[in-house]
Amino acid sequence: MEHNGWVDERYGAVADAFAGNFTEFPELGAAVTVFVDGRKVVDLWGGVADERTGRAWQQDTVVPVFSCAKGVVSLCTHLLAQEGRLDLDAPVARYWPEFAAHGKEAVTPRMVLGHRAGLPVLDRTLTFEEIARWTPVVRAIEEQRPLWAPGEAFEYHAHVFGFLLGELIRRVTGLTPGAYFREAVAPGLGGPGAETWIGLPEAETGRLARLAEAEGRPPMPGPESLIMRMVTMNGAFAFPGLDEPHGWNDPELLRAEVPGAGAVSSARGLATLYAAAATGVDGSARLLAPDTLTDALAERSSGATWSGFPDLGVRWGSGFLLDSAFRPMLGARSFGNDGAGGQFAFGDDEFGVGFAYVANRMVGHGDARANRLVTAVRECLGA
Residue 268 to residue 34: CA distance in whole angstroms: 8
At the fourth CATH level, the homologous superfamily of domain 4-74+180-381 is DD-peptidase/beta-lactamase superfamily (3.40.710.10)
Residue 3 to residue 215: CA distance in whole angstroms: 23
More confident call, 352 vs 382: 352
Mean per-residue pLDDT over the chain, rounded: 95
Measured at the CA of 185, the angle between CA 182 and CA 190, to 5 degrees, comes to: 90
The pLDDT assigned to 192 comes to: 65
pLDDT (mean) for 159-184: 97
| Three-class SS state of 45 | strand
**HEC states along 125-150?**
CCCHHHHHCCHHHHHHHHHCCCCCCC
User: 121: which residues sit within 8 A by CB, 6+ positions away?
Assistant: 147, 158, 160, 226, 229, 230, 234
Question: Which residue, 261, 105, 250, 98, is CA-closest to 170?
Answer: 98
| Confidence band, pLDDT 50/70/90 cuts, at residue 240 | confident
Sign of the torsion angle spanned by Cα atoms 76, 82, 85, 88: positive
Share of the chain above pLDDT 90, in %: 89
Sorted by where each begins, the domain ranges of the chain are 4-74+180-381
**Number of H-type helices and E-type strands within the chain:** 13, 15
The pLDDT assigned to 242 comes to: 83
Share of the chain above pLDDT 70, in %: 98
The pLDDT assigned to 379 comes to: 97
Residue 324 to residue 326: CA distance in whole angstroms: 5
User: 59: which residues sit within 8 A by CB, 6+ positions away?
Assistant: 4, 5, 31, 43, 45, 266, 268
User: 152: which residues sit within 8 A by CB, 6+ positions away?
Assistant: 116, 118
pLDDT (mean) for 181-191: 89
Residue 211 to residue 51: CA distance in whole angstroms: 9
Residue 344 to residue 110: CA distance in whole angstroms: 23
User: 53: which residues sit within 8 A by CB, 6+ positions away?
Assistant: none
The pLDDT assigned to 222 comes to: 79
pLDDT in tens, 117-133: 999 999 999 999 999 99
Is 80 exceeded by the pLDDT of residue 183? yes
What single letter denotes the amino acid at residue 92?
V
The pLDDT assigned to 85 comes to: 98
Is 70 exceeded by the pLDDT of residue 17? yes
H or E segment at 340?
none
Is 90 exceeded by the pLDDT of residue 220? no
The pLDDT assigned to 193 comes to: 67
Let me know: does 285 contact 292? Beta carbons within 8 Å. no
pLDDT in tens, 248-260: 999 999 999 999 9
pLDDT in tens, 261-299: 999 999 999 999 999 999 999 889 999 999 999 999 999
The pLDDT assigned to 383 comes to: 64
pLDDT (mean) for 135-157: 98
Residue 89 to residue 77: CA distance in whole angstroms: 12
pLDDT in tens, 311-346: 989 999 999 999 999 999 999 999 999 999 999 999
pLDDT in tens, 347-376: 999 999 999 999 999 998 789 999 999 999
pLDDT in tens, 57-78: 999 999 999 999 999 999 999 9
The pLDDT assigned to 269 comes to: 96
Is 70 exceeded by the pLDDT of residue 246? yes
The pLDDT assigned to 2 comes to: 64
The verdict on pTM exceeding 0.85 is yes
pLDDT (mean) for 12-16: 97
Let me know: does 260 contact 159? Beta carbons within 8 Å. yes
